[in-house]
Amino acid sequence: MIAEVSDKVYVMYASKVAEYGTADQIFYNSKHPYTIGLLNSIPKLSAGHKKLATIEGSVPAPTNYPAGCHFCTRCAFAIDKCWNEQPPLIEVERGHVSACWRTAEIDKFKEQLLSSVV
């Protein structure tokens, strides 16, 4: 529904923008691990009675966010920098940004990321 009615999409996690861009950029070329996990958790009619995909862990309490990326506690690809430094919004393509230190290499991890979210 979001893709049908929105031109721009902002994906937020624990009070921070994780990624934003056009609906097409977000739905077909997502670059943040949270966005990828979120999109993978959408129920699919063709999946029958399979279990829905989930993202491991829980959202941290607002009084206990990590010093770095707020998603790092649940991210399979977090590195030391993720825990200690908030990532800037990195431009992926015109009008599409991701707040992930590993944005440039996320496509290498996408398949693994999709399977690890289940």
Q: Which residue stretches of the chain are H helix?
A: 2-5, 23-28, 33-40, 80-84, 106-116
pLDDT at residue 116 in the model: 54
How far, rounded to the nearest angstrom, does the alpha carbon of residue 6 sit from its chain's CA centroid? 18
Q: Is the pLDDT of residue 118 over 90?
A: no
Domain containing residue 33: CATH number:
3.40.50.300
Range of the domain at 80: 2-116
The pLDDT tens digits for 12-61 are: 999 999 999 999 999 999 999 999 999 988 777 666 667 777 888 999 99
DSSP state of 72: G
Please give the tally of structural domains in the chain: 1
The pLDDT tens digits for 61-106 are: 999 999 999 999 999 899 999 999 999 999 999 999 999 999 989 8
Place of tokens 């990532």: 87
- Cα distances from 96 to residues 41, 52, 67, 74, in angstroms, run 22, 28, 25, 23
pLDDT at residue 23 in the model: 94
Instruction: Tell me the whole-structure pTM to 2 decimals.
Output: 0.85
Helix (H, G, I), strand (E, B) or coil at 18: strand
